[in-house]
Chain A
Amino acid sequence: MKLESKVPEGPLAEKWTKHKFNLKLVNPANKRKYEIIVVGTGLAGASAAASLAELGYNVKAFCFQDSPRRAHSIAAQGGINAAKNYQNDGDSVYRLFYDTIKGGDYRSREGNVYRLAEVSVNIIDQCVAQGVPFAREYGGLLANRSFGGAQVSRTFYARGQTGQQLLLGAYSALNRQIANGKVKMHTRTEMLDVVVVDGKTRGIITRDLVTGKIESHSGHAVLLCTGGYGNVFYLSTNAKGSNVTAAWRAHKKGALFGNPCFTQIHPTCIPVSGDHQSKLTLMSESLRNDGRVWVPKTAHKGLKAKEAASIPEGDRDYFLERKYPSFGNLVPRDVASRNAKMMCDEGRGVGATGLAVFLDFSDAIKRDGKDLISAKYGNLFDMYKQITGDDPYQMPMMIFPAVHYTMGGLWVDYNLMTNVPGLYALGEANFTDHGANRLGASALMQGLADGYFVIPYTIGDYLANIGWNDKVGTDHPAFKEAIDKVNDRVTKLLSIKGKKTVDEFHRELGLTMWEYCGMSRNEEGLKTAKKKIQELREEFWKNVDVVGSANELNMELEKAGRVADFMELGELMVDDALNRSESCGGHFREESQTPEGEALRKDDEFSFVSAWEYKGDNQPEELHKEELRFENVKLTQRSYK
Chain B
Amino acid sequence: MKITLKVWRQKSRTAKGEFKTYQADHVSSDMSFLEMLDVLNTSLIKKGEEPIHFDHDCREGICGMCSLYINGHPHGPLQTTTCQLHMRSFHDGQTITVEPWRAKAFPIIKDLVVDRSAFDRIQQAGGYVSVSTGGVPDANEIAIPKKIADEAFDSAACIGCGACVAACKNASAMLFVSAKVSQLALLPQGHAERKERVEKMVAQMDAEDFGACTNTRACEAECPKAISVTNIARMNREYFSAVFSSYEVTVGGGD
Over the window 164-201 of chain B, the binary record of Cβ atoms lying under 8 Å from chain A Cβ atoms (1 yes, 0 no) is 00000000000000000001100101100000000000
Q: Does B134 contact A (CB under 8 A)?
A: yes
Are A387 and B127 neighbours in the complex by a CB distance under 8 Å?
A: no
A179 / chain B contacts, CB cutoff of 8 Å:
124-125
A47 / chain B contacts, CB cutoff of 8 Å:
133
Given the interface contacts A239-B58, A278-B59, does A552 sit within 8 Å of B30 by beta carbon?
Answer: no
A548 / chain B contacts, CB cutoff of 8 Å:
50
Are A172 and B129 neighbours in the complex by a CB distance under 8 Å?
A: yes
Q: Does A50 contact B (CB under 8 A)?
A: yes
Give A255-282 interface residues, CB cut-off 8 Å to B: 273-274, 276-279, 281-282
A66 to B48 alpha-carbon distance, docked (Å): 27
Query: Which of A68-76, A102-110, A322-330, A406-414 binds B?
Result: A68-76
A75 to B62 alpha-carbon distance, docked (Å): 6
A501 / chain B contacts, CB cutoff of 8 Å:
42, 45-46
Q: Does A21 contact B (CB under 8 A)?
A: no
Interface residue total, chain B, C-beta cutoff 8 A? 77
Q: Does A126 contact B (CB under 8 A)?
A: yes
- Size range of the chain A interface in the assembly: 35 or more
Q: Which residue of chain A is the closest to B63 with respect to CB atoms?
A: A70
Distance in angstroms from A276 CB to nearest chain B CB is 5
Given the interface contacts A175-B127, A276-B28, does A553 sit within 8 Å of B110 by beta carbon?
Answer: yes
Given the interface contacts A51-B133, A136-B144, A552-B12, does A74 sit within 8 Å of B62 by beta carbon?
Answer: yes
Q: Does A596 contact B (CB under 8 A)?
A: no
Given the interface contacts A65-B57, A140-B144, A239-B57, does A278 sit within 8 Å of B156 by beta carbon?
Answer: no
Q: Does A288 contact B (CB under 8 A)?
A: no
B34 / chain A contacts, CB cutoff of 8 Å:
278
Are B63 and A128 neighbours in the complex by a CB distance under 8 Å?
A: no
Q: Does B90 contact A (CB under 8 A)?
A: no
B123 / chain A contacts, CB cutoff of 8 Å:
171-172, 175
Are A66 and B62 neighbours in the complex by a CB distance under 8 Å?
A: no
Give A145-171 interface residues, CB cut-off 8 Å to B: 158-159, 161, 163-165, 168, 171
Are B48 and A131 neighbours in the complex by a CB distance under 8 Å?
A: no
Q: Does A307 contact B (CB under 8 A)?
A: no
Distance in angstroms from B240 CB to nearest chain A CB is 23
A548 to B110 alpha-carbon distance, docked (Å): 12
8 Å CB contact of A552 from B38, B39, B110, B144: B110
A86 to B141 alpha-carbon distance, docked (Å): 12
Q: Does B86 contact A (CB under 8 A)?
A: yes
Give A78-132 interface residues, CB cut-off 8 Å to B: 84, 86, 122, 124-131
Given the interface contacts A74-B62, A140-B146, A387-B84, does A67 sit within 8 Å of B183 by beta carbon?
Answer: no
Over the window 349-366 of chain A, the binary record of Cβ atoms lying under 8 Å from chain B Cβ atoms (1 yes, 0 no) is 000000000000000000
Given the interface contacts A172-B129, A210-B109, does A67 sit within 8 Å of B189 by beta carbon?
Answer: no
Give B10-57 interface residues, CB cut-off 8 Å to A: 11-12, 28-32, 34-36, 38-39, 42, 45-46, 48-51, 53, 55-57
Q: Does B153 contact A (CB under 8 A)?
A: yes
8 Å CB contact of B84 from A67, A171, A386: A386
A159 to B137 alpha-carbon distance, docked (Å): 23
Are A140 and B145 neighbours in the complex by a CB distance under 8 Å?
A: yes
Are A133 and B149 neighbours in the complex by a CB distance under 8 Å?
A: yes
A273 / chain B contacts, CB cutoff of 8 Å:
28, 30-31
A62 to B211 alpha-carbon distance, docked (Å): 30
Are B127 and A172 neighbours in the complex by a CB distance under 8 Å?
A: yes
A243 to B126 alpha-carbon distance, docked (Å): 32
Q: Does B128 contact A (CB under 8 A)?
A: yes
Q: Which residue of chain A is the closest to B48 with respect to CB atoms?
A: A547
Over the window 137-166 of chain B, the binary record of Cβ atoms lying under 8 Å from chain A Cβ atoms (1 yes, 0 no) is 111101111100110110011011000000
Q: Does A142 contact B (CB under 8 A)?
A: yes
Are B59 and A164 neighbours in the complex by a CB distance under 8 Å?
A: no
Are B142 and A128 neighbours in the complex by a CB distance under 8 Å?
A: yes
A284 to B146 alpha-carbon distance, docked (Å): 24
Distance in angstroms from A153 CB to nearest chain B CB is 14
Q: Which residue of chain B is the closest to A84 with respect to CB atoms?
A: B139
Q: Does A135 contact B (CB under 8 A)?
A: yes
Q: Does A626 contact B (CB under 8 A)?
A: no
Query: Top 8 nearest A-B pairs by Cβ distance?
Result: A140-B143, A172-B128, A129-B136, A133-B153, A273-B30, A128-B139, A51-B133, A54-B132
What are 20 sample pairs from A and B whose C-beta atoms fall under 8 A apart?
A: A67-B116, A67-B119, A67-B120, A70-B57, A72-B57, A126-B134, A128-B142, A130-B128, A130-B189, A136-B144, A164-B62, A172-B123, A173-B128, A175-B124, A176-B128, A276-B36, A277-B35, A281-B59, A453-B134, A555-B51
Chain A interface (Cβ < 8 Å from any Cβ of B): 47, 50-51, 54, 65-70, 72, 74-75, 84, 86, 122, 124-131, 133-142, 158-159, 161, 163-165, 168, 171-173, 175-176, 178-179, 185, 187, 210, 237, 239-241, 273-274, 276-279, 281-282, 383, 386-389, 452-453, 456, 501, 503-504, 545, 547-548, 552-553, 555-556
